[in-house]
Amino acid sequence: MESKLSLTEFRTRLVNNTEIGSLKETLGQVRVFPIVGKPKSFYGLFDDKSFRLTTNSATSSTPYIINGKYKNINNTLKVDYVVELNNKFQLLWTRYFPIVCIIAINIFFLFFARGLRRASTIVNLFLLFMAFYSRWKEGKKRKNLEEKFLRIFEIK
């Protein structure tokens, strides 16, 4: 993809919009030592050719990162990036944990609470709602991260 910015403007925006820090210095999805002050849009590392960025939020972060490279070709800035999960365990957790939880709850109601049929239906509906909501929310976080990146760095 191409950016409307020059190479120096792109690097300046990287510096101005990125809080420097390793993506491995996180506990779960919340950074350990967030810097106090005006928050910058992204958190991560970058150099003269590549970048690894995620959203800069201590409360509502995303497990997705933008991993990419950039270079100047014929006075146009070419940016190649991909939005991916920071940790593959998070993918397994968000996709399969709700299914395992539904199966475990149903086994409990089947063997230990035979008379609570109505309660099992309510619990199953709640767990299904939570499973779909969590998948939708993670997809929305991914989309918002990519849109913010494209907007700030004027990539088309």
Average pLDDT, the chain: 84
Give dist(CA 31, CA 22) in Å, integer.
10
Give dist(CA 71, CA 49) in Å, integer.
6
Give dist(CA 23, CA 85) in Å, integer.
11
Cα–Cα nearest to 99, from 67, 73, 124:
124
Instruction: Write down the H helix ranges in the chain.
Output: 7-17, 88-111, 117-152
Distance of CA 35 to the CA centre of its chain: 20
Mean pLDDT of 20-33: 59
Cα–Cα nearest to 149, from 92, 71, 66:
66
pLDDT digits (tens, 9 = 90+) for 5-15: 999 999 999 99
Residue 23 pLDDT class (50, 70, 90 cuts):
confident
Question: Which pTM was predicted?
Answer: 0.80
pLDDT digits (tens, 9 = 90+) for 35-67: 556 678 898 899 999 999 988 876 666 788 999
pLDDT digits (tens, 9 = 90+) for 92-117: 787 788 888 888 988 888 888 777 87
- pLDDT for 70 equals 95
Q: Which domain holds residue 59?
A: 1-156
Tally of domains in the chain: 1
Strand partners, 82: 67
% of residues, the chain, pLDDT over 90? 37
- Joined together, the tokens standing for residue 85 give 């999960």
Q: Is the pLDDT of residue 118 over 50?
A: yes
